[in-house]
Amino acid sequence: MKRRAALDRFFITTPIYYVNAKPHLGHAYTTIVADSIARYHRLAGHETFFLTGTDEHGDKIVEAAAKAGSSPQQYVDTISEQFRSLLPELQISNDDFIRTTEERHKQVVRDILQRVYDAGDIYLSEYEGRYCTGCEQFLTDKDLDANGLCPDHKVAPTVIKEKNYFFRMSKYQDWLKQHIQDNPEFIRPEHYRNEVLSMLDMGVLDDLCISRPKSRLDWGIELPFDSGYVTYVWFDALINYITGLGGPDSENFSKFWPRANHLVAKDILKPHAIFWPTMLKAAGFEPYQNLNVHGYWLMQDTKMSKSLGNVVEPLAMRDTYGLDAFRYFLLREMRFGRDASFSERALVGRLNADLANDLGNLFSRVLSMTHKYFGGEVPAMGQRSHAEDVEILDLALNSFANYQQLFPRFQFGRALEALWELVRGLNKYVDVTAPWTLFKNGETERLAMVIGTLLGLMRKIALHIWPVMPQTAETMFAQLGGEFDPSAIDLGKEAEAFGDFLQTGTRLAKASNLFPRVEFKEVESGGQAEPRQDNPKKDKQPKQPKTQQPAPEVGIAEFADFQKLDLRLGTVLSAEPHPEADRLYVVKIDLGEPQPRQVVAGLREHLEVEFLVGRQVVVVANLAPRKLRGVESQGMIMAVKDKDGLQLLTATGLVENGSKVS
RNA sequence: GGGCCGGUAGCUCAAUUGGCAGAGCCUUCGGCUCAUAACCGAACUGGUGUAGGUUCAAAUCCUACCCGGCCUACCA
């Protein structure tokens, strides 16, 4: 039995996935990363808990269910099952699968709400605001786009006035900032830590609205202190990380809690980096250990012409290239935290070069030689006499040590690269020692040493690779005449010495073809594939893989487009500083209309009032009105800017006010 | 407008925080025959985005700017 100290415990989570869409590449990536890291820690002998699940409350679910003609419960049962059943297909080794509609979760949410309420950090307040059903939240001025629409969903928000419960998040702002500063690894990679610190520096955090009146939404968890309300979706969802362990009073919670590692995509940074730690603090719990933030997979170079949608189906990739090649590619290719491009061409490149040529071929050639020279049985090892035998061992131990240093720090690409230094080194070792020559010359002892060294190190490669490619690792072990048992491995020791060699006489597989080479078929699609433009919606889950943005067609405007613009000349009557904004003027312009036009213009840091008044300017007269810092602007003054400053557009001579530009 | 991150070989990325710019892929040539047209070796490609500055020494630090991405705001 391996000794398990408290420090060796590891809790890894994926976000719980919102059940309003089918699983896609983003979900698969997050989950596969979590799985690999969980397997790694198990292999390292750490007691590990790996949690994933689905997020099932909120009005979007109610809407989607209605649209599908089913009840919310039926609907979430169906979609949640799609996520759950994907897990074994991707060989995900999660310890539990949490659904926010489960009774165990409702109890924990109520428990924690009550704790925060008792601590005095939840209060009732009336709120009037514009609510976007798509976002499931109230939007402020600054959230709206130029037309007063929700920028993510392109719909006008509804004005709603209601009483709601608020979480006093602002109270914990300074504490959170201090905590992030004191714990450089709390949010990683560093880029996202900076992002969060700048959010916290920007001003006072708003308190968080955590309820919805049942009259408006009853698909949620009832507040323990007011049966007229249900919980706001984030407060509900984040708590899953505690429910999954069994709740705050459970044994698993006391075992695993402060050692939690959350894994999220960058679009849900704020809830996890700001809401969640402050919620935990208010409820009297320690903050989680790390928030690990990854980037997006971008679709590039794609020739998947059959689906212009460009959605990468994880299962289709698995079916075409094999699960382990797919998993390997995802971990090898993306530098954790940054965006990466997904392309089948790159996947095939990795598959052929790294997996087939380097790794697969190594197994193939060594097993074949073992059969030719030793009847397929592990030979008895002799003395390690030659320099290259010592060198290859040094290389191996160094490679494993590097791997073990990088992998748990989420540096998967570099960790695998470190391992591949050894894979390539072993191929070279074969060439340098030339076992076929040793065989011809009857140097059997030396031959046994060489083959034994190869087999022993191949076993180590297999076990190191298991977190990423479990199936392949297990096949490798089978080919090496053994069975893979993660609990019997002591990872640290594997990097310290050659260790227990495979038992002499063990029968090995005669041949190995772990990764057949794949021919990459370039599918020509007659010009550029048309990437689909996804709605840039902000979901609570990894985004749909973004399509490559084609250059927007700004180059050519049809005459009809130009005609839409109503450009007119008018004389500036007055210009006053905007009361609420120090870069804006409120300008009144005579456009030949009964009333002067009021336009808010950002000219204040460029032009004096005296310069403006009396000046004739070009105005976009039919621009949709928009409030800027509370003052309505009914148009736009046209100007040009270069390195020397800003100039106004006007006509070469005076014209009648209101004259149209054509 | 402000902030953060990035820009290194044709491509993807390193460079232990200031110490001789390196890998892999691609391409070309050579070697080998155990192996999956594979493997091994060699070659090839560089004012490290631009211009300055600090330093014995700069991809790395400082200043300004250009390009890309993200965040943010009072450019309508």
Using a 7 Å cut-off to protein CB atoms, list the covered nucleotides of chain B. 2-5, 12-14, 24-26, 31-41, 69-76
Are the CB atoms for A397 and A422 separated by under 8 Å? no
Query: Which pLDDT tens digit goes with each residue over A279-300?
Result: 999 999 999 999 999 988 887 5
> What is the pLDDT averaged over residues A416-427?
95
What pLDDT sits at residue A343? 85
Active-site residue flag, A537: no
What pLDDT sits at residue A135? 58
What pLDDT sits at residue A139? 62
What pLDDT sits at residue A260? 95
What pLDDT sits at residue A268? 92
What's the CA–C1' distance between A186 and B2, in Å? 26
* Minimum-distance nucleotide, CA of A142 to C1': B73
Closest CA to A37 of A407, A295, A504, A551: A407
Active-site residue flag, A306: yes
Choose the weakest-confidence range: A246-255, A473-482, A618-627.
A618-627
What pLDDT sits at residue A356? 96
Query: Which pLDDT tens digit goes with each residue over A546-570?
Result: 332 222 223 345 565 566 678 888 8
What's the CA–C1' distance between A426 and B3, in Å? 48
The CATH number of the structural domain formed by A6-294 is 3.40.50.620
* Given the residues A132, A262, A266, A294, the one annotated as active site: A132
Amino acid at A6: A
What pLDDT sits at residue A642? 55
Active-site residue flag, A660: no
What pLDDT sits at residue A269? 92
Q: Is A44 exposed, middle or buried (0-12, 13-18, 19+ CB in 10 A)?
A: buried
| Topology at the third CATH level for domain A343-494 | Isoleucyl-tRNA Synthetase; Domain 1 (1.10.730)
Q: Has residue A656 got a pLDDT over 90?
A: no
A629 Cβ contact partners less than 8 Å away, ≥ 6 residues apart: A578, A580, A581, A584, A600
* Minimum-distance nucleotide, CA of A639 to C1': B75
Q: Which residue is nearest to nucleotide B65 (CA to C1')?
A: A643
Class of domain A562-648 (CATH, top level): mainly beta
**Tokens 């699940």 map to which residue?**
A53
What's the CA–C1' distance between A365 and B44, in Å? 30
Q: Which residue is nearest to nucleotide B12 (CA to C1')?
A: A333
> What is the pLDDT averaged over residues A340-369?
93
What pLDDT sits at residue A431? 95
* Given the residues A179, A303, A386, A538, the one annotated as active site: A303
Active-site residue flag, A303: yes
Report domain extents, chain A: 6-294, 343-494, 562-648
More confident residue, A129 or A250: A250
Q: What is the mean pLDDT of chain A?
A: 84
What pLDDT sits at residue A544? 30
How many CB atoms neighbour CB A418 within 10 A?
21
What pLDDT sits at residue A184? 85
Q: Residue A531: pLDDT band by 50, 70, 90 thresholds?
A: very low
State how far the Cα of A635 lies from the Cα of A586, in Å rounded to an integer. Answer: 11
What's the CA–C1' distance between A335 and B53, in Å? 34
What pLDDT sits at residue A142? 54
What's the CA–C1' distance between A33 and B39, in Å? 31
CA separation, residue A456 to residues A383, A610, A656 (Å): 14, 85, 91
Helix (H) or strand (E) holding A547: strand A546-547
Active-site residue flag, A153: yes
Active-site residue flag, A24: yes
Task: Report the SS3 class of residue A626.
Answer: strand
Torsion of CA A144, A145, A150, A156, to 10 degrees: 90
Closest CA to A177 of A208, A193, A200: A200
- State the complex-level ipTM: 0.93
Query: Which pLDDT tens digit goes with each residue over A229-249?
Result: 999 878 999 999 999 999 999
Active-site residue flag, A386: no
What pLDDT sits at residue A371? 96
Q: Residue A644: pLDDT band by 50, 70, 90 thresholds?
A: low
Are the CB atoms for A268 and A15 separated by under 8 Å? yes
What pLDDT sits at residue A578? 75
Q: Has residue A85 got a pLDDT over 90?
A: yes
Query: Which pLDDT tens digit goes with each residue over A145-204?
Result: 555 565 556 667 777 788 999 999 999 999 999 999 888 889 988 889 988 988 888 777
Q: Has residue A537 got a pLDDT over 50?
A: no
What pLDDT sits at residue A150? 59
What pLDDT sits at residue A286? 96
